[in-house]
Amino acid sequence: QPGGTVSPEAAKFYIAWLKSAFKHIHSLQVIYRDIKSENAMIDREGYLKLIDFGFAKIIENRTHTLLGTPEYFAPELLKGKGYGLPIDNWGLGILLYEMLVGTTPFADDNTARTCEKILRNEVMIPQVITDLNCRGLISMLLTKDPVKRIGSGTKRTSEIMAHSWLRSIDWNALERKEVEAPWVPELKTDDHTDTVDQEAYWEETYVPIAYDRDQEWCKDF
């Protein structure tokens, strides 16, 4: 759609699929740490592929490295006191907002101001998002306190999957890829990507910090 957005039903499909992916990687105690639109690629069946696990890491409880894309930073990452799996749920909330609005909620031309907004400003959900259940899920995913954020308790991913906005999702059918995708690209060959229109409204601003040194498996990504 115009403005770099997708329809609410398409957003629901994509977020549900990503949440299913996080259910798997979080069950392995792997934190992803870099959810953003550029890392969710649409395959030939119209489903998303979560790519680039360069910032992923196995954790037992918390980690401390500052890395990722500033517009998607969670408050606890910026505070420098350690963070865990709930940081991925924050990123999912940012991505859902971006899908429906066309920009991230705390975006600013200045990275320092972006970080200040993340720490101090509550998310303002524009009226373009009319579904109250969707608005509620965004607010719950973008709760600044990671302990109170949806998906942070003992139920983890299941708590998000049970939310009223996602109630219409048949999770078993989705995981079997039996749910019709909202858009299927027309590809000439298996490796053809020319038909995919890459949006240019964002700026990639990576924090140039090396991978954590305490996990040897990270070095090969």
Give pLDDT tens digits for 95-149. Answer: 999 999 999 999 999 999 999 999 999 999 999 999 999 999 999 999 999 999 9
> Is the pLDDT confidence value at 164 over 90?
yes
Dist CA 49 CA 43 (whole Å): 7
Instruction: Please confirm, yes or no, whether 34 is among the known catalytic residues.
Output: yes
Question: What is residue 206's predicted lDDT score, i.e. its pLDDT?
Answer: 30
How confident is the prediction for the chain on average, in pLDDT?
A: 87
Quote the pLDDT of residue 193.
59
- pLDDT band of residue 186 (cuts 50, 70, 90) is confident
Q: Which of 53-62, 189-198, 211-220 has the lowest mean pLDDT?
A: 211-220
pLDDT score recorded for residue 3: 53
> Which residue among the candidates 34, 170, 191, 214 is catalytic per the annotation?
34
pLDDT at residue 212 greater than cutoff 50: no
SS (H, E, C) the chain: CCCCCCCHHHHHHHHHHHHHHHHHHHHCCEECCCCCHHHEEECCCCCEEECCCCCCEECCCCECCCCCCHHHCCHHHHHCCCECCHHHHHHHHHHHHHHHHCCCCCCCCCHHHHHHHHHHCCCCCCCCCCCHHHHHHHHHHCCCCCCCCCCCCCCCHHHHHCCHHHCCCCHHHHHCCCCCCCCCCCCCCCCCCCCCCCCCCCCCCCCCCCCCCCCHHHHHC
Q: What is the pLDDT of residue 220?
A: 38
Report pTM: 0.85
